[in-house]
């Protein structure tokens, strides 16, 4: 079988389909290179002294793990000097990181969740990186947080890496979804799945059911109907899967179908959910839609939400289209 590397895939996309400019292609390659470095650190585990807490908190009040901090630094360092970016933003940084003056600046903005699934780091369960690329607004001179507050529909690329039994990179530039597997010996990403499509039919759902007592009625109704199985309104049995790493749950859904839910609930009524819109929900929603699925916050399409702030949270329902439409219709009933 002829092996197609990420570089070759991107060059061909640029040439034949004209779907990505050269600058964006190079930017994606740099992000992929940083993910390779993170994957290497992850796989060392205790031997690399990368496990455990960093002894600090991020802007959202979450305890940072060593790998959260390390992955953030790796992404910053890799992307600072390439000349393709104007600024970056991350789950682990309070505000944006403009490209330092000593480096040339480009026209793109990069957002990332450097390490997704932090609670799984120390127990050797799949974790990952999520990223989203936007274009800087026309005429921007000094980048500000405001420049990042663009709808998900404005993303020009999005992707995630999963550091699991294999390290994979799933990518969209708005022309379908492709998956690359890291060949560790060669140090290169090899195209292993072309034009991924989420199966329409599913018997699997992902939600943290320990929060069930806090759920609002539409989510409770939807999950109750799944739990009722064959003799209930859905007429079939469903299975639960919850990895607690969004990257891994979404990757399963992309391959096997299903629905992923992290709803808002009554614990903290003012909080619109746990996950972050700009570097978790938006890139995943872009990928899922490109793979034929759907993504909403229960009421509306995630990609249409106008962000109000960088670390904004959002309820997330994504995956197989008919399931997402059903749970969304319960919210809008
Ligand atoms: P992060 O590690 O970047 O903070 O994200 C964790 C997220 C997401 O990956 C996962 O689906 C969810 O939090 C898990 O939440 P629970 O702890 O409620 O299971
Ligand atoms: Mn995350
Ligand atoms: Mn994270």
pLDDT per residue as tens digits for the range 183-198: 999 999 999 999 999 9
Task: Looking at the CA of residue 245, tell me the nearest atom of ligand 1.
Answer: 9
100 Cα distance to chain centroid: 26
CB 279 within 8 A of CB 285: no
209-227: per-residue pLDDT in tens? 999 999 999 999 999 999 9
- For the segment(s) 6-193, the CATH number from 3.30.540.10, 3.20.20.60, 3.40.50.300, 3.20.20.110 is 3.30.540.10
Look at residue 59 in the predicted model and tell me its pLDDT: 86
- Ligand 1 pocket, 246 CB below 6 A? yes
Residues 6 or more apart whose CB falls under 8 angstroms from that of 295 comprise 281, 284, 285, 288, 289, 301, 302, 303, 316, 317, 318, 319, 324
Look at residue 6 in the predicted model and tell me its pLDDT: 98
Ligand 2 centroid, distance to 275 Cα (angstroms): 7
Q: Which two tokens stand for residue 68?
A: 């959260």
Question: Sign of dihedral through CA atoms 303, 310, 22, 27?
Answer: negative
> Which helix (H) or strand (E) element contains residue 64?
strand 63-65
100-142: per-residue pLDDT in tens? 999 999 999 999 999 999 999 999 999 999 999 999 999 998 9
CB 91 within 8 A of CB 114: yes
pLDDT class of 62 with cuts at 50, 70, 90 = confident
**What CA–CA distances, in Å, run from 306 to 151, 153, 279, 282?**
5, 10, 14, 11
pLDDT class of 2 with cuts at 50, 70, 90 = confident
Torsion angle of C-alpha atoms 253, 24, 84, 38, degrees rounded to 10: 30
> Which helix (H) or strand (E) element contains residue 182?
strand 177-183
pLDDT (mean) for 11-39: 93
- Candidates 211, 209, 206, 212; CA nearest to 247 is 206
Look at residue 18 in the predicted model and tell me its pLDDT: 76
Q: Which ligand is nearest to the CA of 248?
A: 1
Task: Looking at the CA of residue 262, tell me the nearest atom of ligand 1.
Answer: 11
How many CA atoms are closer than 13 Å to the CA of 101, on its beta-carbon side? 1
Torsion angle of C-alpha atoms 98, 30, 90, 210, degrees rounded to 10: 170
Q: Which ligand is nearest to the CA of 280?
A: 2
**What CA–CA distances, in Å, run from 154 to 62, 136, 315?**
29, 10, 20
91-100: per-residue pLDDT in tens? 999 999 999 9
pLDDT (mean) for 259-273: 95
- Whether domain 204-332 has CATH 3.40.190.80: yes
Task: Looking at the CA of residue 119, tell me the nearest atom of ligand 1.
Answer: 2
Every domain range in the chain assigned CATH 3.40.190.80: 204-332
Every domain range in the chain assigned CATH 3.30.540.10: 6-193
pLDDT class of 60 with cuts at 50, 70, 90 = confident
Q: Where are the alpha helices (DSSP H) in 208-310?
A: 217-227, 246-256, 282-290
Look at residue 19 in the predicted model and tell me its pLDDT: 78
pLDDT class of 300 with cuts at 50, 70, 90 = very high
Residues 6 or more apart whose CB falls under 8 angstroms from that of 9 comprise 178, 180, 191
Average pLDDT over the chain, rounded to an integer:
96
Look at residue 287 in the predicted model and tell me its pLDDT: 99
- Ligand 1 pocket, 120 CB below 6 A? no
For 140-153, give one letter per residue: b (16+ CB within 10 A) or e. Answer: beebeeebbbbbbe
Q: Which two tokens stand for residue 262?
A: 């992290």
């Amino acid at each position: 079988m002829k092996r197609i590397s990420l570089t070759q895939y991107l060059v061909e996309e640029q040439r034949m389909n004209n779907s990505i400019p050269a600058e964006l292609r190079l930017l994606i390659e740099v992000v992929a290179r940083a993910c390779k470095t993170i994957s290497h650190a992850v796989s060392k585990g205790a031997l690399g002294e990368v496990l455990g807490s960093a002894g600090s908190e991020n802007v959202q009040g979450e305890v940072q793990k060593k790998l959260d901090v390390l992955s953030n630094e790796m992404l910053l360092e890799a992307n600072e000097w390439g000349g393709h970016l104007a600024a970056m933003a991350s789950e682990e940084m309070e505000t944006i990181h403009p490209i330092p003056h000593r480096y040339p600046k480009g026209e793109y903005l990069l957002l990332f969740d450097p390490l997704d699934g932090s609670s799984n780091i120390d127990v050797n369960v799949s974790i990952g990186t999520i990223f989203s690329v936007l274009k800087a607004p026309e005429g921007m001179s000094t980048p500000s947080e405001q420049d990042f507050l663009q709808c998900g529909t404005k993303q020009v690329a999005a992707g995630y890496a999963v550091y699991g039994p294999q390290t994979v990179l799933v990518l969209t530039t708005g022309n379908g979804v492709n998956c690359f597997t890291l060949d560790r010996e060669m140090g290169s990403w090899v195209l292993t799945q072309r034009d991924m499509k989420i199966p329409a039919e599913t018997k699997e759902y992902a939600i943290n059911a320990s929060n069930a007592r806090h759920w609002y009625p539409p989510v409770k109704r939807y999950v109750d109907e799944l739990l009722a199985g064959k003799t209930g309104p859905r007429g079939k049995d469903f299975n639960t899967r919850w990895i607690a790493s969004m990257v891994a749950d979404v990757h399963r859904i992309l391959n096997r179908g299903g629905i992923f839910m992290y709803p808002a609930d009554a614990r903290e009524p003012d909080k619109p959910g746990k996950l972050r819109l700009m570097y978790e929900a938006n890139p995943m929603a872009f990928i899922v839609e490109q793979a034929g699925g759907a993504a909403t916050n229960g009421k509306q399409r995630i990609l249409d939400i106008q962000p109000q702030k960088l670390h904004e949270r959002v309820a997330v329902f994504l995956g197989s289209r008919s399931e997402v439409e059903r749970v969304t219709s319960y919210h809008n009933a």
